[in-house]
Amino acid sequence: MSENTVNEPVTAKRVNPRLENYKMIWKRLKKNKAALIGGYLIIFFILVAVFGPYLLSQFGQYGPYQQNLLNKLQGPSAEHWFGTDNFGRDIFTRIIHGMELTLWIGFLSVLIGMIIGVPLGIISGYYGGRIDNIIMRVMDVLLAFPGILLALAIVSVLGGSLQNVIIAVGIFSIPAFARIVRGSTLSVRKLEYIDAVRALGASDFRIIFKHILPNVMSPIIVQATLRIATAVLTASGLSFLGLGAQPPMPEWGAMLSAGRTYMYEAWHVAFFPGAMIVLVVLAFNIFGDGIRDALDPKMKQ
């Protein structure tokens, strides 16, 4: 027996190029186990920063500023997981509250650098000529100073505070974004479709925000991820020197500075804040490297 088959028209499935690109990036990223570990750690740190202080206020026994001089410099125990500092404050509670400060400094300072540096880089690369020379010479002046020294000079002028640290780290992040975006803009500007769009009468504003900016987002994302680690390390260094967050704020750099006096008799006072700084910086660095390889596989080669 033969069966009659009806040939139905086959409709091509519409493919979203942007969605497929995201899937390909995620597929490459999953192959990098170290980057995944870094990404999971970052998510964990963000969750701790958002929900940790609230949970401690509801279920914890100690506050970040609560002192008990009778229990000062106590080692890790079931009552005090990370021990107590020289004022008898619970180090674990202070580290959880310090997570919010640390990530806030990192994200906000990098955001400041992006908001200023990315437009400067695009304008410099797109228009070129005298505008390019002026912007890049200013960036060269800022890059002539090591990042920590530039931030130290800015904080010394503005005064030691958490807000001034964020401003200082944001300022020294501007040249990094400006230079990398300028280089990417120079490459995109030479593409033929940019000339075609310009020939059709598109304005510079439309070309920059609709055609150039989306094509330079990959290096911006990579630079932002890696820059957060640098911002956290720099802010902790300034606080360690007494120019950042002021006591009794539970900032890790300030806690590390206070704990160095007691390293021989109470190692835990300096160890746990220092270990948290290392973990956060390491997580952002390895995740940033993984993002770079996933967005541009040729970089790995």
Q: Is residue 272 part of a domain?
A: yes
Residue 286 falls within a domain, yes or no?
yes
Query: CB-based contacts of 58: which residues, under 8 Å, 6+ apart?
Result: none
The CA-based diameter of the chain, rounded to the nearest angstrom, is: 95
Q: What is the CATH number of the domain that holds 283?
A: 1.10.3720.10
**pLDDT at residue number 18:** 67
Report the chain's mean pLDDT, rounded to a whole number: 86
pLDDT in tens, 258-300: 888 888 888 999 999 999 999 999 999 999 988 888 886 554 4
pLDDT tens digits, one per residue of 146-159:
777 888 888 888 88
DSSP sequence for 209-272: IIIIGGGGHHHHHHHHHHHHHHHHHHHHHHHHTTSSSPTTS--HHHHHHHHGGGTTT-THHHHH
Number of domains within the chain: 1
3-state secondary structure of 10: coil
**Is the Cβ–Cβ distance between 239 and 251 less than 8 Å?**
yes
Amino acid 298: pLDDT: 57
How far is 77 from 81, CA to CA, in rounded Å?
5
pLDDT of residue 301: 45
Domain that holds residue 143: 31-58+90-300
Identify the pLDDT of residue 196. 86
Helix/strand number for the chain, H first, E second: 12, 0
Q: Mean pLDDT, to the nearest integer, of 79-104?
A: 92
Residue 79 domain-assigned (yes or no): no
In a domain, 204, yes or no: yes
pLDDT above 70 for 79: yes
Residue 135: the pLDDT is 93
Q: What pLDDT is attached to residue 7?
A: 53
Determine the Cα–Cα distance for residues 102 and 236; give it in Å rounded to an integer.
8
Domain membership of residue 52 (yes or no) is yes
> How high is the pLDDT of residue 17?
66
Q: What is the mean pLDDT of residues 175-196?
A: 88
Residue 8 included in any domain: no
Residue 158: what residue type?
Answer: L
pLDDT at 248 over 90: no
CB-CB contact of 49 with 100 (8 Å):
yes
- C-alpha distances in angstroms, 36 versus 20, 27, 44, 297? 20, 11, 12, 16
Q: Kindly state whether residue 231 falls inside one of the protein's structural domains.
A: yes
Span 173-199, mean pLDDT?
Answer: 88
Asked if the structure places residue 227 within a domain, the reply is yes
